[in-house]
């Protein structure tokens, strides 16, 4: 393909993908399937790899990430990002209104009310319609440049095509993790034996500063915009600015309201106090602004905050109820989670009977006694949690909670690894909830996707002694299934069909499904692509595993220990015999040139603009070869940051040329 033809096709694909992105994320509509969308994106990615000079700064491929950022550059804000004064009472809000009236000396004024979202403040700079910089709030004067990570937010326009945009303008908003995404993220972490995140706000903050933008893209951050700044915006009120942002295609929460008096503001606050729980993200208050920009300027600022705006914070709803007992849940990985059994109480829209206590450290911190009256809140309005003890109600007869030392399910002695907060049951092959949990993990959608089975079916199969490992599923007969409650011929056949269909799931799904601790979906995909076959993976050394993308010491050690276990090896062999996929079907990249023909590379370290998998694909696409170890026959050691010294020393000793990322890009250009 010629460069001109490639440019034409890249432009077409960019327009198509942007159109479908806008429909899906901003208008909740779809015109094509996910598969068709992915095909368009894959074609664009390949064309940009072949013709890197044609990659546009607002290309849709920026949404999927891939850039590695080792250090985030510090940026001084053109307009300081000041914090707002807070109030929790209507009386203080009325006092604020009095100060506004006095400052405006009798002028008529109105307010603009917006919900205060509990996320991460962000400043976006657009130049000639193009998003050029995204900066965190930082200390209000300077923040961090997180542009590559913010570009992964699908609802955020990378280019504004409206005719009335100024040459340069700034938009501010709040980056957040939707409630459902946060719940799913925690479920996945719990599933692979990782500690869960405490709240969505902190998780969003940590995500914005992750080094790998491809991982940021998978977190599915979102963003609401609420503030327009710049010299030539031609608006006289904040409400006009908001309308302009909506017209330009920005994601503005439709929960705002213009209010003519402080009483209308108070009515708005009351309306949303309960209603906000229905929103897809966390909120913790209301921001009230004087609507007129001229009046804002007249009122001015204090040293820390504007005099024309204030934040009304909703008090976290907390209630006291009796702690009736503590139960202990055992998860798939053996992690034991204590749960407070409470006297039922109505809190933030739902009846709460139970609340997580996290671990032994939390129980000790709270100094819990059975029969105590405890304060309960909903963390981020989502998860009930015990925040303290009402000591005024403590009875002298209550008994201090002593954390259990034996598994509540199988009576095995619990262990607690150094540096970890959780206790674990080590009896993974004999503890019922661990056994059932492993099978339930195996059949889930992201693994083998056997939707004809479910938690209750797995429980019955286990109790009947028919299934004790995932491999047992593939040796079930129809007669076995007919022994289950309420299962007839058709249901039994549907189950068998679902089990048979799962044999077509790709290697990475099988690898995720077998449940190696710390090997989540992303790591399973990386391992499958890197090692190609299960046989290669099971023979891999600790050092070889560390060479794979996304694999650190903890994951490498876990994989090594998994394949040292004879029972695990027998389980894998039974799955092989059952006909599951144990070879990667990921295609090698098509040959686009021979500029690296007969040249061999070892890739090591972390790179600014590429993941190691991407570099491998680029080398293969241009006729080169990729090796895993340094030898005298090697042509190049492609060295990134944090590369191990042993490889560099060996390469230098053998006379192998060590090249940087920029030198590699020069090689590609011939």
Where does the pLDDT of residue 52 fall: very low under 50, low under 70, confident under 90, or very high at 90 and above? confident
Q: What is the CATH number of domain 600-668?
A: 3.40.50.10190
**CATH 3.30.470.30 domain position(s) in the chain:** 76-313
Mean pLDDT for the chain? 90
Q: Please state the rounded mean pLDDT for residues 371-400.
A: 85
All residues at 6 or more sequence positions from 563 whose CB lies less than 8 Å from its CB, including other chains: 537, 538, 569
The pLDDT score that the predictor gives to residue 379 is 58
Contact 156, 223 (CB under 8 A): yes
Using CA atoms, how far apart are residues 525 and 509, in angstroms rounded to an integer?
A: 8
Is 265 or 42 the better-scoring residue by pLDDT?
Answer: 265
Q: What angle do CA 402, 407, 410 make, to 5 degrees?
A: 150
Percent of residues, the chain, with pLDDT higher than 90: 57
* DSSP H or E run through 115: strand 111-117
Instruction: List, in sequence order, every beta strand (DSSP E) within 275-407.
Output: 283-290, 309-313, 319-330, 335-347, 350-356, 369-370, 373-379, 383-389, 399-400
505-519 per-position pLDDT tens digit: 999 999 999 999 999
409-468 per-position pLDDT tens digit: 999 999 998 878 889 999 999 999 999 999 999 999 889 999 899 899 999 999 999 999
Closest CA to 178 of 331, 463, 422, 380: 380
- Which one is catalytic: 29, 46, 70, 116? 116
What is the rounded (10 degree) CA torsion for 187, 193, 197, 200? -30
Question: Catalytic: 289?
Answer: no
Buried-state track 561-579, b at ≥16 Cβ within 10 A, e below 16: ebbeeeebeebbebbeebe
**CATH 1.10.287.610 domain position(s) in the chain:** 3-64
Q: What is the CATH number of domain 507-578?
A: 1.10.150.20
| Cα distances (angstroms) measured from residue 514 to each of 136, 455, 465, 510 | 40, 17, 20, 6
Q: What angle do CA 654, 656, 658 make, to 5 degrees?
A: 135
**CATH 1.10.150.20 domain position(s) in the chain:** 432-504, 507-578
Q: What is the CATH number of domain 319-400?
A: 2.40.50.140
432-504 is a CATH 3.90.470.20 domain: no
Classify strands 309-313 and 319-330 as parallel, antiparallel or unpaired: unpaired
pTM of the shown model: 0.66
Where does the pLDDT of residue 66 fall: very low under 50, low under 70, confident under 90, or very high at 90 and above? low
What is the rounded (10 degree) CA torsion for 609, 613, 616, 622? -70
**CATH 3.40.50.10190 domain position(s) in the chain:** 600-668
Q: What is the CATH number of domain 76-313?
A: 3.30.470.30
The pLDDT score that the predictor gives to residue 164 is 87
| Distance of alpha carbon 482 from the chain centroid | 41
Q: What is the CATH number of domain 3-64?
A: 1.10.287.610
What DSSP letter does each residue of 385-422 carry, written as one string?
A: EEEEE-GGG--TT-EE----SB-TTT-PBPB--TT-SS
Contact 423, 416 (CB under 8 A): yes
3-state secondary structure of 655: coil
């Amino acid at each position: 393909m010629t460069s001109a033809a490639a440019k034409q096709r890249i432009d077409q694909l960019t327009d198509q993908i942007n159109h479908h992105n806008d429909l899906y994320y901003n208008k909740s509509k779809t015109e094509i399937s996910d598969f068709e969308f992915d095909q368009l994106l894959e074609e664009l990615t390949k064309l940009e790899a072949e013709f890197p000079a044609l990659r546009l700064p607002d290309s849709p491929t920026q949404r999927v990430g891939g850039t590695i950022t080792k250090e985030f550059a510090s940026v001084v804000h053109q307009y300081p990002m000041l914090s707002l004064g807070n109030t929790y009472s209507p009386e203080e809000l009325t006092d604020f209104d009095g100060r506004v009236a006095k400052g405006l000396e009798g002028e008529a004024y109105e307010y603009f009310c917006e919900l205060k979202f509990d996320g991460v403040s962000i400043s976006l700079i657009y130049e000639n319609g193009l998003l050029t910089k995204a900066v965190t709030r930082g200390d209000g004067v300077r923040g961090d440049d997180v542009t590559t990570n913010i570009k992964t937010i699908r609802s955020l326009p990378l280019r504004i095509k409206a005719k009335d945009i100024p040459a340069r303008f700034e938009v501010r908003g709040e980056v957040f993790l939707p409630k459902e995404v946060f719940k799913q993220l925690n479920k996945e972490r719990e599933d692979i034996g990782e500690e869960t995140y405490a709240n969505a706000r902190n998780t969003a903050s940590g995500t914005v500063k992750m080094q790998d933008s491809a991982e940021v893209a998978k977190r599915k951050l979102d963003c609401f915009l609420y503030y327009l700044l710049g010299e030539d915006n031609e608006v006289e009120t904040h409400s006009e600015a908001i309308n302009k942002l909506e017209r330009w295609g920005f994601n503005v929460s439709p929960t705002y309201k213009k209010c003519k008096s402080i009483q209308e503001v108070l009515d708005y606050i009351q309306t949303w106090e309960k209603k906000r729980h229905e929103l897809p993200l966390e909120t913790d208050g209301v921001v009230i602004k004087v609507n007129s920009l001229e009046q804002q300027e007249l009122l001015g600022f204090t040293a820390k905050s504007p005099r024309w705006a204030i934040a009304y914070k909703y008090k976290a709803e907390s209630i006291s109820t009796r702690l009736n007992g503590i139960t202990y849940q055992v998860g798939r990985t053996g992690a034991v989670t204590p749960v407070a059994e409470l006297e039922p109480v109505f809190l933030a829209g739902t009846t709460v009977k139970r609340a997580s206590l996290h671990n032994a450290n939390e129980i000790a911190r709270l100094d819990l006694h059975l029969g105590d009256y405890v304060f309960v809140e909903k963390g981020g309005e989502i998860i009930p949690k015990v925040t303290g003890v009402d000591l005024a109600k403590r009875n002298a007869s209550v008994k201090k909670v002593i954390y259990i030392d034996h598994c509540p399910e199988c009576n095995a002695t619990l262990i607690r690894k150094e540096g970890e907060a959780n206790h674990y049951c080590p009896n993974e092959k004999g503890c019922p909830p661990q056994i059932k949990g492993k099978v339930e993990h195996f059949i889930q959608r992201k693994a083998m996707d056997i939707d004809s089975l479910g938690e209750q079916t797995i429980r019955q199969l286990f109790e009947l002694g028919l299934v004790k490992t995932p491999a047992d599923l593939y040796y079930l007969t129809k007669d076995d299934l007919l022994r289950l409650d309420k299962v007839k011929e058709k249901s039994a056949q549907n189950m068998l069909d679902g089990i048979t269909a799962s044999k077509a799931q790709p290697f990475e799904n099988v690898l995720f499904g077998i449940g190696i601790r710390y090997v989540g979906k992303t790591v399973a995909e990386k391992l499958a692509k890197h090692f190609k076959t299960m046989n290669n993976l099971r023979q891999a050394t600790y050092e070889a595993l560390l060479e794979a993308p996304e694999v650190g010491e903890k994951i490498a050690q876990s994989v090594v220990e998994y394949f040292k276990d004879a029972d695990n090896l027998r389980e894998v062999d039974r799955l092989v015999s059952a006909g599951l996929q144990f070879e990667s079907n990921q295609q090698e990249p098509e040959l686009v040139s021979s500029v690296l023909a007969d040249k061999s590379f070892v890739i090591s370290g972390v790179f600014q603009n590429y993941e190691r998998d991407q570099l491998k694909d680029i080398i293969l696409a241009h006729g080169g070869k990729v090796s895993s170890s340094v030898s005298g026959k090697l042509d190049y050691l492609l060295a990134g940051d944090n590369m191990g010294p042993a490889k560099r020393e060996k390469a230098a000793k053998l006379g192998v040329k060590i090249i940087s990322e920029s030198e590699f890009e020069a090689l590609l250009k011939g």
